[in-house]
A = this chain, B = another copy of it.
Amino acid sequence: MNNTEKIQELFKILDEAEIYARAIGKMDFDMQTVAPEEGMDRAGEDIAFLSKKHFELTHSEKYAALLCELHGDSSDLTPLQKKTVEKLYEEWEKEKNLDEDFVYRFNLASNKAFSRWISAKKEKDFSIFRDSFKEVVDFTREMVEKRDTRPVTVYDALLDDYEKNGSIKQLDAFFEQLRNRIVPLSKRVVEEGKPIRDDFLTRKCPVALQEEFSRRLLKIEGLRFEALVLSTSEHPFTTNFGAHDVRVTTHYYEENFISNIFSTLHEGGHALFMQNEPQEFYENHIADSMSNGMHECISRFFENIIGRSEAFIHFIYPHLIEATGDIFKDISERELYEAVNIARPGLLRTESDELNYSTHVMIRYELEKAFVNGDITVDEVPELWNKKYKEYLGLDVPDDAQGCLQDVHWTGGYGYFPSYALGNAYGVQILRTMEKDMDVFAEVERGNLKAVSDWLIKNVFSIASVSTPDEWIRKITGESLNPDYYLDYLEDKFTKLYELK
Residues of A at the B interface (CB closer than 8 Å) are 16, 19, 22-23, 26-27, 29-30, 33-39, 42-43, 45-46, 49-50, 206-208, 224-229, 231, 241-242, 244-247
Q: Taking the nearest CB of chain B, how far is it from the CB of A403, in angstroms?
A: 33
Of the candidates B33, B36, B208, which one forms a contact with A208 in the assembled complex, judged by CB atoms under 8 Å apart? Answer: B208
Q: Apart from A22-B46, A39-B242, list 19 A-B contacts with CB within 8 A.
A: A19-B46, A19-B50, A26-B26, A26-B27, A26-B30, A29-B30, A30-B30, A33-B34, A36-B225, A36-B229, A36-B245, A36-B246, A37-B226, A38-B245, A39-B245, A42-B241, A42-B245, A43-B241, A208-B208
Q: How many copies does the complex hold?
A: 2
Interface of A is mostly: helix
Which chain B positions have C-beta within 8 A of A207?
A: 208
Q: Taking the nearest CB of chain B, how far is it from the CB of A7, in angstroms?
A: 21
Which chain B positions have C-beta within 8 A of A228?
A: 36
CA distance A46 to B224 in the complex (A): 23
- Do B50 and A241 touch (CB < 8 A)? no
CA distance A33 to B225 in the complex (A): 15
Q: Taking the nearest CB of chain B, how far is it from the CB of A114, in angstroms?
A: 22
Task: Write the chain B residue with the least CB distance to A23.
Answer: B23
Contact (A227, B38) CB under 8 Å given A19-B46, A26-B27: yes
Q: Taking the nearest CB of chain B, how far is it from the CB of A26, in angstroms?
A: 5
Q: Taking the nearest CB of chain B, how far is it from the CB of A349, in angstroms?
A: 30
Contact (A244, B49) CB under 8 Å given A30-B26, A208-B208: no
- Do B19 and A49 touch (CB < 8 A)? yes
Q: Taking the nearest CB of chain B, how far is it from the CB of A90, in angstroms?
A: 27
Q: Taking the nearest CB of chain B, how far is it from the CB of A42, in angstroms?
A: 6
Of the candidates B36, B46, B227, B245, which one forms a contact with A227 in the assembled complex, judged by CB atoms under 8 Å apart? Answer: B36
CA distance A244 to B37 in the complex (A): 8
- Do B227 and A39 touch (CB < 8 A)? yes
Which chain B positions have C-beta within 8 A of A23?
A: 23, 27, 46, 50
- Do B229 and A42 touch (CB < 8 A)? no
CA distance A16 to B35 in the complex (A): 21
CA distance A29 to B34 in the complex (A): 11
CA distance A227 to B34 in the complex (A): 11
Which chain B positions have C-beta within 8 A of A208?
A: 206-208
Q: Taking the nearest CB of chain B, how far is it from the CB of A52, in angstroms?
A: 10
- Do A226 and B46 touch (CB < 8 A)? no
Which chain B positions have C-beta within 8 A of A43?
A: 241, 245
- Do B244 and A39 touch (CB < 8 A)? yes
Q: Chain B CB within 10 Å — which of A225, A226, A244 has the most?
A: A244
Task: Write the chain B residue with the least CB distance to A208.
Answer: B208
Q: Taking the nearest CB of chain B, how far is it from the CB of A246, in angstroms?
A: 8
CA distance A279 to B26 in the complex (A): 27
CA distance A173 to B247 in the complex (A): 53
Q: Taking the nearest CB of chain B, how far is it from the CB of A113, in angstroms?
A: 26
What are 24 A-B interface contacts by the 8 Å CB criterion?
A: A19-B45, A22-B42, A22-B46, A23-B50, A26-B27, A29-B30, A33-B34, A34-B247, A35-B229, A36-B227, A36-B244, A37-B226, A37-B227, A38-B224, A38-B226, A38-B227, A38-B245, A39-B227, A39-B241, A39-B242, A39-B245, A43-B241, A43-B245, A208-B208
